[in-house]
């Protein structure tokens, strides 16, 4: 439990809970201000908030709905009602989280989620192996992203991720090409039936398009590092080698201070 609005904000940002009971009247930031700020941030906007208030008039109900709370509890407390409301909203939160987990799309960036990347990557590997066709993979990372997060905060970093994802998506033109959010800050692109020359063209277009962004909400120029690798899969070879190699190329690009593309071609290594 925290006793003032600013401390509540900092705590929730660091340790997001499943549900928040929020007093309207607090020192410093009041409950409405805290709720409004939490609902404006990607990481905390889906946490259900129940207001605690001594007032139950209709104008207060309209206000808490407007700032994004889901319910309110009036003082003095009726403990059975408090328990029932908390239990109900926790169950709803769990249900919503389950539905979101089933979605193939990353809510923040609009790119596909990692687990769907894993599925598509395995499918395309098998298809390329059967047809003896090239398969390429591009991996990107936002340069100096940790420093940007530390200097400008979560909202600026989320804005940066969104805009970079938009530029990466705009850089791939074929319906078969597949963009996914690989982890917190990296994106992966699967390019079926694409040789190293074609992959290099796409990777350079991505790099240039992100560089052309200039600045996002932070006052720093945004650039990306890219690794790219092409292989013609053969029976008995492991798909993981392509993934490992493209990550190695990405590390090589970052080692040169970013905003560049490093590439390789593979013949494959036998699975152990």
**What secondary structure does DSSP assign to 74-110, as a single string?**
ESSP-HHHHHHHHHHHHHHHHHHHHHHHH-SB-TTTS
Determine, yes or no, domain membership for 108. no
Determine, yes or no, domain membership for 271. no
Q: Are residues 224 and 164 in the same domain?
A: yes
Q: What is the DSSP string of 123-160?
A: HHHHHHHHHT--EEEEEEEETTHHHHHHHH-HHHHHHH
Task: Give residue-wise pLDDT tens across range 217-249.
Answer: 555 789 999 999 999 998 777 889 999 999 999
CA distance linking residue 236 with residue 209, whole number of Å: 38
Residue-range definition of the domain harbouring residue 155: 114-266
Please, is 42 exposed, middle or buried when counting C-beta atoms within 10 Å of its C-beta (0-12, 13-18, 19+)?
middle
Determine, yes or no, domain membership for 55. yes
Specify the CATH number for the domain of residue 226: 3.30.70.270
Q: Could you tell me the pTM of the whole model? A: 0.68
Task: Give residue-wise pLDDT tens across range 98-141.
Answer: 766 667 889 899 999 998 999 999 999 998 998 899 999 999 99
Mean pLDDT taken over the chain: 86
CA distance linking residue 121 with residue 127, whole number of Å: 10
Specify the CATH number for the domain of residue 58: 3.40.50.2300
Is-contact 49 86, C-beta < 8 A?
A: no
Q: Are residues 147 and 85 in the same domain?
A: no
Laid out side by side, the sheet with 261-266 consists of 178-181, 186-192, 135-142, 224-231, 261-266
Q: Are residues 64 and 168 in the same domain?
A: no
């Amino acid at each position: 439990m925290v006793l003032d609005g600013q401390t509540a904000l900092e705590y929730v940002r660091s340790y997001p809970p499943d549900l928040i009971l929020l007093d309207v009247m607090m020192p410093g930031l009041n409950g409405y201000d805290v709720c409004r700020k939490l609902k404006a941030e990607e990481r905390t906007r889906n946490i259900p908030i129940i207001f605690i208030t001594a007032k139950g008039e209709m104008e207060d109900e309209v206000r808490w709905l407007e700032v994004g709370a889901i319910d309110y509890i009036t003082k003095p407390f009726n403990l059975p009602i408090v328990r029932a409301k908390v239990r109900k909203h926790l169950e709803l939160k769990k249900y919503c989280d389950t539905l979101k987990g089933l979605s193939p799309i990353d809510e923040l960036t609009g790119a596909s989620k990692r687990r769907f990347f894993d599925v598509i990557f395995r499918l395309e590997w098998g298809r390329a192996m059967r047809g003896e066709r090239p398969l390429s993979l591009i991996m990107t990372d936002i340069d100096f992203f940790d420093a940007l997060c530390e200097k400008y905060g979560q909202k600026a970093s989320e804005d940066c991720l969104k805009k970079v994802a938009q530029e990466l998506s705009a850089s791939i033109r074929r319906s078969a090409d597949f963009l996914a959010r690989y982890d917190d800050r990296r994106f992966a692109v699967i390019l079926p039936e694409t040789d190293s020359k074609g992959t290099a063209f796409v990777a350079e277009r991505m790099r240039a398009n992100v560089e052309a962004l200039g600045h996002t909400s932070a006052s720093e120029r945004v650039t990306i590092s890219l690794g790219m690798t092409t292989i013609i899969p053969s029976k008995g070879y492991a798909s993981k080698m392509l993934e490992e190699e493209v990550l190695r190329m990405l590390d090589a690009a970052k080692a040169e201070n970013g905003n560049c593309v490093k590439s390789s071609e593979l013949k494959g290594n036998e699975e152990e």
